[in-house]
Amino acid sequence: MDGKKNILTKKVVIILVKFIILGPPGTGKGTLADGLSKRLRLKHISTGDLLRTEVKNASSLGKKIENVLSKGELVSDNLIKDLLKKNLPINDFILDGYPRTLEQATDLEKINEIDYVINLQSISEIIIKRLSARRICLNCKSVYGSNILPIVRGVCDKCGGSLIRRADDSPKTIENRLITYKKQTEPLINYYKEKIINIDGNNTPEIVLGITLKELNDRGIEARA
């Protein structure tokens, strides 16, 4: 597998690489993606952010998406595929929140072949504890939890917005989400078996980022100064 491509310039080595992050809910996929995007200078692509941007821009695709969301329906795989065709860079990105099914994985490979798949692993007890403690800012969407506490309880450090618990972060709902993940998304681990990098997600975000960077460094992908 040609997982990384080095382009030599006068003094700089540019690494062109494409990642996705897999893992059950509550393993810190978004947090890890943010950390990697900064340390490796990759573009962090979130399908949720792309959907919101298209709707906000009122593009023809955004209007189709808004029509679906206004009915309380799930955005179809075909619309997500169109979204990625329009917005996914050729190289240097980390994709968070997609794919979630084998069908989506095959769609993605037709758009852009992935180099590495980071698979965050964590036990159910820790996941339930994390998500039950998770709070999200209503305004800027910053995330807090047992490892990241706000200075003032219930108030976002960044913008002063109110912190709330998502409806789907209740213990019973979390258990159902884990069952859905096991059924729909775990088969992707076998699909990507030649590209998988397994990471212990039971640690703090800082430790998980450090472990991941070491694994990538061992494969010739170094953090950029």
Please indicate whether residue 52 is annotated as part of the active site.
Answer: no
Please indicate whether residue 219 is annotated as part of the active site.
Answer: no
CB burial string 181-193: b at 16+ within 10 A, e below: beeebeebeebbe
Neighbours of 147 (CB within 10 A): 13
Of 39, 100, 129, 141, the active-site residue reads: 100
Here the tokens at position 179 are 């069952």
Please indicate whether residue 100 is annotated as part of the active site.
Answer: yes
C-alpha 46, offset from chain centre: 6
Of 64, 130, 134, 135, the active-site residue reads: 134
Of 85, 166, 214, 219, the active-site residue reads: 166
Please indicate whether residue 165 is annotated as part of the active site.
Answer: no
Of 29, 64, 130, 135, the active-site residue reads: 29
Q: Would you say 20 and 94 are in contact if contact means Cβ atoms under 8 Å apart?
A: yes
Please indicate whether residue 134 is annotated as part of the active site.
Answer: yes
Q: Which residues are catalytic?
A: 29, 100, 134, 166, 177
